[in-house]
Structure 1
């Protein structure tokens, strides 16, 4: 009887703990660094992982840099080889916390919270603070976030030949359809 109760308690506790973590492996990051009157400098990565703990508000995001796709293949090659140096710095990550996250607010209506953490890109880690929005959609929690970074802050050098064609500040958009972890 004790084994059955122990097993039952373990199953209930693991279900409760299990349901507090949401994740995706098919999140999306877009970035835009275009300048007016020049060719578009934008890319998208649809293979981004995100893990979000609704009980603590902790969030972690991981993107493989070579996963970014550009409209122009040559631009993608230059991005990986000359700017972001993806062989040397293959991953970009964010680890932070959603401040005062309330799962009941996120489950009932669109809700926005502050998020703060460390963004690591090109081997450099910097603090980032922005807003993050959650919308419940069926069994998923749709998460969106926008922020801006400066390539120079991450030791990403833009050659003078193309410096006027690339924005000094890059706009980053994230979207994750988070689900219970399997």
Structure 2
């Protein structure tokens, strides 16, 4: 009897704790480092994971590097082997907080500041950017665009292609978060 009661209590407490979190495992991250007059250097990852804690605005995201897909397979191979070294650095992560987050205001679209630590290629940098949160069909749509420099994350662009790849990398995120 005691075990059953304890199990029921754990179930309800777990639901209360986890009900404050919104997640996705199918988030979209795009990046582009194209230079005009050359072949586009762009990729998309449709399997990024993210979690938002509605109780305090903490936000985290994870993307497996090998999940980024390019239009040109050879470009994808060079990206994984020579630039980002995905076998050594298999994931990119973000862990931070939405500033002045208020879950009670999620019934309408709003812009927020997001700050935290972005880790790519074994290097972690503090970033601050703007995000948009908007309700969508009972879920939360989170979007953002920001730019990083490849050199800030110790990503070396060989001199032979330096003119064909931008040092500034534009990153776009598009997550539909749902209660778990």
TM value normalised by structure 2 = 0.93
Distance in 1, Cα, partners of 2:9 & 2:136: 30
- Cα displacement (A) at 1:105: 1.5
Distance in 1, Cα, partners of 2:172 & 2:148: 11
- What aligned pairs does 1:29-68 form with structure 2 within 5 A after superposition? 29-68=29-68
- Cα displacement (A) at 1:6: 7.7
After superposing the two structures, state which structure 1 stretch, 137-146 or 72-81, moved more.
137-146
SS in 1 for 2:40: coil
RMSD of Structure 2 on Structure 1 (CA): 1.9
- Cα displacement (A) at 1:17: 2.2
Distance in 2, Cα, partners of 1:165 & 1:84: 17
Give the corresponding residue for 2:173: 174
Give the corresponding residue for 1:91: 91
Give the corresponding residue for 1:155: 154
Runs of 4+ that moved beyond 6 A: 2-9
Number of residues paired by the alignment?
A: 180
SS in 2 for 1:39: coil
Per-residue deviation, residues 120-169 of structure 1 (Å, max 9, x unmatched): 00000000100111111122101111111100001100001100111111
After superposing the two structures, state which structure 1 stretch, 26-35 or 13-22, moved more.
13-22
SS in 2 for 1:161: coil
- Cα displacement (A) at 1:15: 3.3
- Cα displacement (A) at 1:84: 0.2
Give the corresponding residue for 2:139: 140
- Cα displacement (A) at 1:82: 0.4
SS in 2 for 1:126: strand
- Cα displacement (A) at 1:9: 6.5
Give the corresponding residue for 2:104: 104
